[in-house]
């Protein structure tokens, strides 16, 4: 059995008794299709179609169309509220009403939407909700399969997603987010540039005292965190992940108390990554915590490293907790 399949089964085995094993196609049939049909039935009714005409077009009975109109059919609100769903239904309804779209074109529109919703979209979210063991890896398994060629990418993306959840669930992180935002990144093995580093597009921000993670991680979504990681792995290939916090003396003291000697580096942006790599080489290692105290127009920043994004997040939360006590 392939290693990835073995890992998945190991993850699922303890949870079989507490959940239903569900395929994403079941979510499409049981939630997506009823929602799409109900929305389309409503739009065609607005176009003046009779219930029988709508039933013939949708391939259902007139009684089913009546249920759509009365609201007695369960609708998945996450699908109905999605702008892509609304736009697709509008295109289909307009196309059918004008005669410019046939059944083949309708099917093509809906299948394209399903593919979008399955790839880190609302179908994926529902699937991971129904099967918690898939958290952080459901889309990669269903959409991309168990191809070993993309195993490294799945592992990196999963680690960054899990790290963001840890950060969002912590009571200490929001106050440590810099004004410029936080990011957490992780590089592929043998990474060569920022496109080989996964991070959160748009960065992580403090939103009224809560950690706001705006989107799922993507490769090439970071500049400064990616550059810091690449400078680190040029000296120590195990330092593949990092996140940034605001520099705080109590945090640095907590690191020292745990046997970590934080490394101070220059805050300037010019040739930053090259200078940082040289600083690591001069130190003879890449410590788990590095920092700078800022400069004119540059906010003081601390970086926490780990072999994985989860390890970096765990250490950052542990030190923030210690600094707070």
Which domains are present in the chain? Answer: 3-128 (no CATH), 150-324 (3.40.225.10)
**CA separation for the pair 204, 214 (Å, rounded):** 7
Going by pLDDT thresholds of 50, 70 and 90, the confidence category of residue 228 is very high
Which residue pairs from 41-45 have beta carbons closer than 8 angstroms and sit at least 24 positions apart in sequence?
A: 41/65, 41/68, 41/69, 42/68, 42/69, 43/89, 43/90, 43/93, 44/93, 44/96, 44/97, 45/69
Average pLDDT over residues 79-101: 92
Average pLDDT over residues 184-204: 95
pLDDT exceeds 60 at position 153: yes
pLDDT exceeds 70 at position 20: no
pLDDT at res. 73: 82
**Weakest-pLDDT range from 149-153, 215-219, 265-269:** 149-153
Going by pLDDT thresholds of 50, 70 and 90, the confidence category of residue 87 is very high
Listed ranges 57-66, 128-137, 180-189; the one with the highest mean pLDDT = 180-189
pLDDT at res. 292: 96
pLDDT exceeds 70 at position 175: yes
Average pLDDT along the chain: 88
Going by the DSSP 8-state scheme, the letter that residue 265 receives in this structure is -
Strand order in the sheet with 241-246: 218-219, 197-199, 184-187, 241-246, 301-306, 289-292, 263-264
Going by pLDDT thresholds of 50, 70 and 90, the confidence category of residue 154 is confident
Average pLDDT over residues 231-237: 97
- More confident call, 4 vs 250: 250
Listed ranges 13-22, 41-50, 227-236; the one with the highest mean pLDDT = 227-236
Q: What are phi and psi of 199, to 5 degrees?
A: -155, 180
Strand 184-187 with 197-199, pairing: antiparallel
Instruction: Name the token pair of 203.
Output: 């960065």
**CA separation for the pair 267, 298 (Å, rounded):** 7
pLDDT exceeds 50 at position 179: yes
**Weakest-pLDDT range from 71-75, 188-192, 264-268:** 71-75
pLDDT exceeds 50 at position 8: no
Going by pLDDT thresholds of 50, 70 and 90, the confidence category of residue 148 is low
Average pLDDT over residues 254-272: 94
pLDDT at res. 125: 84
Ordered DSSP codes for 184-200: EEEEPTT--SGGGEEE-
């Amino acid at each position: 059995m392939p290693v990835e399949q073995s890992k998945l089964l190991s993850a699922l085995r303890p949870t079989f008794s507490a959940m239903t094993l569900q395929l994403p196609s079941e979510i499409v049939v049981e939630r997506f299709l009823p929602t799409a049909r109900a929305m389309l039935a409503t739009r065609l009714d607005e176009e003046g179609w009779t219930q029988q005409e709508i039933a013939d077009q949708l391939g259902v009975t007139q009684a089913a169309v009546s249920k759509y109109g009365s609201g007695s059919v369960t609708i998945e609100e996450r699908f109905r509220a999605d702008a892509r769903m609304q736009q697709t239904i509008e295109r289909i309804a307009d196309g059918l009403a004008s005669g410019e779209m046939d059944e083949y074109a309708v099917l093509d529109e809906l299948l394209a939407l399903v593919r979008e919703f399955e790839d880190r979209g609302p179908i994926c979210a529902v699937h991971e909700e129904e099967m918690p063991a898939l958290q952080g890896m459901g889309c990669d398994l269903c959409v991309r399969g168990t191809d070993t060629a993309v195993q490294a990418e799945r592992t990196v993306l999963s680690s960054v997603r899990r790290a963001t959840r840890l950060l969002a669930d912590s009571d200490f992180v929001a106050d440590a987010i810099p004004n410029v935002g936080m990011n957490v990144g992780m590089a592929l093995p043998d990474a060569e540039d920022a496109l080989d580093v996964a991070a959160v597009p748009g960065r992580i921000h403090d939103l009224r005292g809560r950690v706001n993670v705006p989107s799922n991680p993507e490769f090439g979504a970071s500049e400064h965190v990616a550059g810091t990681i690449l400078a680190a792995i040029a000296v120590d290939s195990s330092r593949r992940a990092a996140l940034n916090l605001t520099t705080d003396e109590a945090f640095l003291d907590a690191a020292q108390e745990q046997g970590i000697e934080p490394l101070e580096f220059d805050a300037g942006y010019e040739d930053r990554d090259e200078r940082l790599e040289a600083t690591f080489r001069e130190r003879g290692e890449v410590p788990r915590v590095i920092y700078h105290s800022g400069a004119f127009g540059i906010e003081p920043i601390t970086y926490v490293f780990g072999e994985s994004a989860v390890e970096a997040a765990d250490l950052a939360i542990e030190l923030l907790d210690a600094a707070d006590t």
